[in-house]
Structure 1
Amino acid sequence: MASSSSPPSVNWADLPPELTFSILLRLSTVEILKNAQLVCRSWRRVCKDPWMFRKIDMRNNSIFDYDRMCRHAVDLSEGGMVEINMEHFGNDALFSYIVEKSSNLRCLRLEMSHLQTAEGFVNAFTKLPFLEDLEILHGFLEFDLKSIGQSCPLLTTLKLNSPCFSRHMSLDDEALAIAETMPKLRHLELFENRLTDSGLNAILDNCLHLEHLDIRRCFNINFFGDLEKRCSERIRDLKRPDDSTADYPFDVISDTDADLFEVDSLFYYDSDGSPYYF
């Protein structure tokens, strides 16, 4: 009987550079900088290729020195970064550094840090004229969405997720800013937004290319008149206020958890603007 032989071992350092590149692209930016580049010299050379950092993923929560690591990744991209995903870290100085070095940025996904200010955040967008895809998760910061729309005329996707309601803005401020400055939108997500039927009508009137609309937990929308018909006829993929949030990627505050927040943050509003509680 022929003896079975063990499969030959793989010397990872001897892999062709293009194969190594393809493998390492599947890692997050944090994994590349913390681990992969330390494996061997050939991997380190690949990890310094600017193409490795065209898309920067900073979602790993296991380290603390995100600022330094993020700046290093941006530097390694040599101005070629087109996409960045950041969670729970950063301040005005870091965000300014990113946009100064990455004027060709096309896609920004950001879970905002409490260290960012509204002014610093909005000012950075004046340097991102090619931005097409913007996703923001925030629950504490009021910023000028109209200025962002004016600075980024190519926006086709906006995902604005606000798990806590602003108590200082009018109900439809954000909806009207979107309607006025983002006519090229095809994909719009306004999770837990306070917009009313009036704001939604304005979006439908002005965003004529809109195909995907997610307004889950936007409980000020009542679909009066022909509004629901307009949505059904215009929007190919529509998620309504009461639709399931099972596939939503972030934590959703249930009605039974509402008492954990300040009382005046728990308003919903009738169509006439009068508040009611959960």
Structure 2
Amino acid sequence: MLSYRRRHRRKPWRNWADLPTDPLLEILGRLDHIDVLMSADLVCRSWRQATRDEPSLWRRITMRGDKEIAAKLNLCAMAFEAVRRSEGQCEAFCGEYAGDDGLLLFLVKQAPCLKSLRLRSCDGITSEGLRDALKDLPLLEELELSLCYHVYDGHVYKIVANACPQLEHFRLSKLRFHYKNRMVDSEAQRIASMRGLRSLQLFSIALTNEVLATILDSCPKLESLDIRHCFNIKLDQVMLTKCARIKTVRLPGDPTDDYDFEAT
């Protein structure tokens, strides 16, 4: 009987409101910041205070949404609030369905030390807004523009090449491939001028062998190359030889199971 009681003894109830600050921030740091704004704020007074008074929690902001969430919530307004709570300490921002030109300009003012900017399905962002923002983000090391259809490719390459001298990771992704929208030599030269690149993803972009060769010859530090769904590329011996020096290569016909979006 005693052993039964020991095995089935109730565990003591834990008051999560009394959790010390460091473990609490560790827990909150594992959540998407949409969840922090929507739920953690409402748990109790101490949690609400931590989410509002601890800017370190907002140093790396991640706001991942989808069409359904975006239809129900004002994700852009929530992104403004997340950046405001960082109190100038934000070093990385990832927004999905959560960004427009106004947010970019606010981010620039509030996060001058931003090193990573990842924008996904942010139709409110334009080429002009991106240009105005990036010129004031000289420390940027990572940039992603995925499915942002009001930011046009040719403008992107020029803007990024001129404004981001420390860029190491660049990702530009489209939903589907179009044979006719070929990247021209001038655009290739813009990417080629990003000589510090360590990773490059151009998904569903109409590259040619000549354009890709120019980029590879000009970016000696490149360690990761993803050109899936770039179906203009011909994998001849010359191109395969150029790609051989790169540690990780994803070729046009490679599987897209791990791609973050639905490839078509």
So what's the TM-score if we normalise by structure 2? 0.89
**Alpha carbons of structure 1 residues 244 and 164: separation in structure 2 relative to 1, 3 Å:** closer
SS of match in other structure, 1:135: strand
Among 31, 34, 40, the alignment partner of 1:30 is 34
Per-residue CA deviations over 1:12-63 (Å, capped at 9, x if unaligned) read 0111111111111111111111111221121122112000100111113434
Among 231, 236, 239, the alignment partner of 2:247 is 236
Report deviation, 1:115: 2.5
Structure 1: unaligned runs, 5 residues or longer: 254-278
SS of match in other structure, 1:144: helix
Q: Is the Cα–Cα contact under 8 Å of residues 139 and 165 in structure 1 kept in the other structure? A: no
* 1:1-278 alignment runs, 5 A limit: 1-2=1-2, 3=5, 4-48=8-52, 49-61=54-66, 62=69, 63-138=72-147, 140-141=149-150, 142=152, 143-164=155-176, 170-180=183-193, 182-224=194-236, 226-232=238-244, 234-253=245-264
Give the whole-Å Cα distance in 2 for the aligned partners of 1:27 and 1:241.
Answer: 34
Give the whole-Å Cα distance in 2 for the aligned partners of 1:172 and 1:8.
Answer: 68
Report deviation, 1:114: 2.5
Q: Is the Cα–Cα contact under 8 Å of residues 65 and 97 in structure 2 kept in the other structure? A: no
So what's the TM-score if we normalise by structure 1? 0.84
Identity rate, percent: 37
Give the whole-Å Cα distance in 2 for the aligned partners of 1:228 and 1:10.
Answer: 59
Partner amino acid, structure 2, of 1:115? G
Give the whole-Å Cα distance in 2 for the aligned partners of 1:224 and 1:66.
Answer: 45
What is the aligned residue count? 251
Q: Is the Cα–Cα contact under 8 Å of residues 139 and 163 in structure 1 kept in the other structure? A: no
Moved more, 89-98 or 153-162: 89-98
Partner amino acid, structure 2, of 1:56? I
Moved more, 79-88 or 90-99: 90-99
Report deviation, 1:172: 4.6
Partner amino acid, structure 2, of 1:76? R
Report deviation, 1:66: 1.6
Report deviation, 1:226: 1.8
- 1:259 aligned partner: none
